[in-house]
Amino acid sequence: MTSTLHNEHTASVNTAKRNNLHITGSGEKIIILAHGFGCNQTMWRFLLPELEKNYRVILFDYVGCGSSDFTAYEADRYQRLEGYALDVIEICDDLDIQNVIFVGHSISSTIGWIIADQRPELFSHLISICPSPCFLNCDPQYQGGFDRQDLEGLVELMDKDYIGWGNYLAPLVMGSDLAPIGPSMNDSDALVHHLLTSFCSTDVTYSKPFAVATFFSDYRTLLPKITHPCLLLQSSNDALVKVSVGEYTQQHLSNATLEIIEAKGHCLHMTHPIHVLNHIQSFLAQH
Tell me the H-state helices in 161-225: 162-174, 187-201, 204-215
- Tell me if residue 238 is catalytic: yes
- Contacts with 230 (C-beta within 8 Å, 6 or more apart), sequence order: 125, 126, 127, 128, 253, 255, 256, 257
Catalytic residue, from 61, 87, 105, 106: name it.
Answer: 106
Question: End-to-end distance of the chain based on CA atoms, in angstroms?
Answer: 20
CA 283 – CA 258 distance, rounded (Å): 10
CA 223 – CA 208 distance, rounded (Å): 26
Tell me the H-state helices in 73-147: 81-95, 107-118
Phi, psi dihedrals of residue 144, rounded to the nearest 5°: -75, -15
Helix (H) or strand (E) holding 236: strand 230-237
Length of the chain: 287
- Tell me if residue 266 is catalytic: yes
CA 263 – CA 77 distance, rounded (Å): 35
CA 129 – CA 137 distance, rounded (Å): 21
Catalytic residue, from 35, 125, 266, 272: name it.
Answer: 266
User: Do 145 and 215 contact (CB within 8 A), yes or no?
Assistant: no
- Tell me if residue 198 is catalytic: no
Catalytic residue, from 238, 269, 272, 279: name it.
Answer: 238
Q: How far apart, in Å, are the Cα atoms of 181 and each of 39, 172, 202, 208? A: 20, 18, 21, 27
Tell me the H-state helices in 101-186: 107-118, 148-160, 162-174
Report the catalytic residues.
106, 238, 266
